[in-house]
Structure 1
Amino acid sequence: MLTSPEHAGRGSGDSEVNASARYIYTRFAEAGLETYYQSFRFRQGLGKLGYGHNVVATLPCNVQVCEKSLVISAHYDHLGSRGSRYYPGANDNASGVVVMLDIAKRLVSHQRHRKIIFVATDAEEKGLYGAHFFAATLNPQQVALNINLDMLAVNRKNRLYVLASKQASTFTQAIEPAFDNQIRALVYTSAAHMARRLDTPRIDWLRASDHYAFHKVGIPFAYFGIGTDPYHHTHKDQFDKVDLPKLAQVSEHINAFISALSVSAAP
């Protein structure tokens, strides 16, 4: 759905809420989450204002004693269209959005000792504007961790790379047990070390996606992604390039990690 012609590459900047935001809103609401749009403005080009629309959904803590919240983010915007062609953005970042929706649906029926806030951000491609706007509305003292999902369609290496702030070490210890030998998660606390491992000297992984906005306001983060993709920001980032069974496994593993941090044992 998100990569279809009807969604036209999920470009950002219009004053009206687009089809992609409406679709995500509906999916959250149908799952039973309290959901709302968060609209904002940002500068694009010379003096021109653009408009963005985050979709925010919340699962409340539902036990007597609650711990700090989790914020799970995934940007839904992509490059839009150029002339008669559009950029599908299957891996970047429809993959992260559908995993986030899947995790939200799974967690609805559980006992949760944290509030879990899901945010599908807009205008990430223009400069992380949606994430910066949303992060500025949070009280960092009330948020334990941001989990940012961006490009999760694993390739033949069957690996996810996780960049985590050092302040998140208490939480990231739960990542490895949540994964298995089929799909591995390699955790880094240094963006430079991650860049050397991926042979991407020109990429600053700290600033590469929405987790940077949370880092800027003092919230620990863990960013999940596959690293580089040969189809990134091309017309070939299409639905048929995504291995859906592997993406389902990724969702299972990340859900297990989030559950370890937030889900209470049954009484």
Structure 2
Amino acid sequence: MRSGPLLALLLCLSFQAQPEGDEKQDGPFLTPDSLWQDLTVLSSDEMAGRRTGRPGSRLAQSHIAGQFAGAGLQSFNGQYSLPFRIDSTLSDLQGTNLAGWVAGTEKVSRYLVVTAHYDHLGKKGRRIYNGADDNASGVAVLLSLARAIASQPMRHSVIFLATDAEELGLYGAKAFLDNPPVPLLNLVANLNLDMLAQGGRRQRLFIGGARHYPLLQPAVQQALQQAPLELVEGHDGMSRGYQSRSRINYRIASDHAVFAGRSIPYLFLSVADHRDYHTINDRIDRIDRDFFGRAAQTALLVLQQMDKLDYQK
């Protein structure tokens, strides 16, 4: 997709508050146009695949921070950016997480953490790995949830965390939990959003985690009944990938694994593995806009149901 002037305009608008529809509507709500705009920006050629440490990553950071500011999210230590070092035998990079939060109405010191990684594979020669589904889709939904909850806070406080360097080894989530901006014990649950836009032939979205955390089962059961699409329990263990090309251990497949490692219960929303995963074909023109909108509504529903639970720590 070639969209240089459009991207420049959207990046400018990202630093302005964006209304989320009719203010007379009850409860938090999403608007499809803002959701699609964020997906368009984050998966554009100008973002060049959002590889950690590259200029495209910095463009993505600017857009996400602008949306946080426009929504009125609070920051930690006066900034949304949480930089960290990636020290390994293969690289010495700096990554940058983006985090903002909304105070709860009742349980202010108890935080739900919504995560979505914004990094992807970048470029290989002239080939751009846009990562529309993986994971511009998850970040676009995270931004829509942030705007919705900022307009009508929930019982618990909510941290919205866009992580970096997930593709390199979940480094962003690890850095956040190694140096959390609030006490670790106050992080009561994680909702991880990773690949929400390609529902496949059966148009299904999967929710995992409750199999390992029974306290989250009531939230999942309510979501299964009320979701505006086919929501299926799964992604809780080993599963075959697209056309059996590999086996995927969904328990460690994304940032929720790091939360689980710190004894923080999680729910994981994702579509099934598909043929465009980690290829140059993961572009916005492969996304079903209607399915993606319903996936975003489902994510909001799940977060609302998680908020109704009482977490004992």
TM-score where L is the length of structure 1? 0.88
**Which residue pairs with 1:157 in the alignment?**
202
Q: Which moved more, 1:35-44 or 1:224-233?
A: 35-44
Measure how far apart 1:107 and its partner are.
1.1
**Which residue pairs with 1:54 in the alignment?**
97
Relative contact order (alpha carbons < 8 A, sep ≥ 6): 1 or 2 greater?
A: 1
AA in 1 matched with 2:189: L
Native 8 Å contact 2:52 2:164 kept in 1? yes
Measure how far apart 1:200 and its partner are.
7.4
- Does 1:260 pair with 2:305? yes
> CA 1:68/1:189 → structure 2, altered by over 3 Å: closer, same or farther?
farther
AA in 2 matched with 1:161: F
Of 188, 200, 214, 1:144 maps to 188
- Does 1:6 pair with 2:58? no
In 2: Cα distance, 1:167 partner to 1:67 partner: 25
In 2: Cα distance, 1:111 partner to 1:23 partner: 23
AA in 2 matched with 1:226: V
Measure how far apart 1:156 and its partner are.
2.6
Gaps of 5+ in 2: 1-40
In 2: Cα distance, 1:86 partner to 1:200 partner: 23
**Which residue pairs with 1:125 in the alignment?**
167
**Aligned Cα RMSD in Å?**
2.5
> CA 1:243/1:212 → structure 2, altered by over 3 Å: closer, same or farther?
same
Native 8 Å contact 1:67 1:113 kept in 2? no
- Residue by residue, what CA displacement relative to the aligned partner does 1:115-148 show, whole Å, maximum 9, x if unpaired? 1001000000011100111122344421221110
Secondary structure in structure 1 of the residue aligned to 2:161: strand
**Which residue pairs with 2:231 in the alignment?**
185
AA in 1 matched with 2:179: T
Secondary structure in structure 2 of the residue aligned to 1:206: helix
Measure how far apart 1:112 and its partner are.
2.0
- Residue by residue, what CA displacement relative to the aligned partner does 1:37-77 show, whole Å, maximum 9, x if unpaired? 0101113553x3011000001011134x5473100000000
Native 8 Å contact 2:49 2:56 kept in 1? no
Of 227, 237, 240, 2:282 maps to 237
Q: Which moved more, 1:167-176 or 1:125-134?
A: 167-176
Native 8 Å contact 2:115 2:162 kept in 1? yes
How many corresponding residue pairs? 260
Native 8 Å contact 1:10 1:76 kept in 2? yes
Of 47, 66, 80, 1:26 maps to 66
Of 199, 224, 228, 2:269 maps to 224
Identity across aligned pairs (percent)?
Answer: 32
In 2: Cα distance, 1:197 partner to 1:40 partner: 32
TM-score where L is the length of structure 2? 0.76
In 1: Cα distance, 2:264 partner to 2:245 partner: 26
- Residue by residue, what CA displacement relative to the aligned partner does 1:163-186 show, whole Å, maximum 9, x if unpaired? 205553222322343355752222
Structure 1 runs of 4+ off > 4 angstroms?
14-17, 179-182, 196-201
- Does 1:207 pair with 2:252? yes
Native 8 Å contact 1:113 1:262 kept in 2? yes
In 1: Cα distance, 2:203 partner to 2:214 partner: 24
Write out aligned runs for 1:105-120 (5 A). Answer: 105-120=147-162
> CA 1:167/1:69 → structure 2, altered by over 3 Å: closer, same or farther?
farther
- Residue by residue, what CA displacement relative to the aligned partner does 1:168-226 show, whole Å, maximum 9, x if unpaired? 3222322343355752222248413xx26986762111111111111111111111111
Write out aligned runs for 1:59-78 (5 A). Answer: 59-63=102-106, 65-66=107-108, 68-78=110-120
- Does 1:79 pair with 2:121? yes
* Between structures 1 and 2, the one with greater helix share: 2
In 1: Cα distance, 2:95 partner to 2:176 partner: 11
In 1: Cα distance, 2:219 partner to 2:146 partner: 19
**Which residue pairs with 2:220 in the alignment?**
175
Native 8 Å contact 1:73 1:119 kept in 2? yes
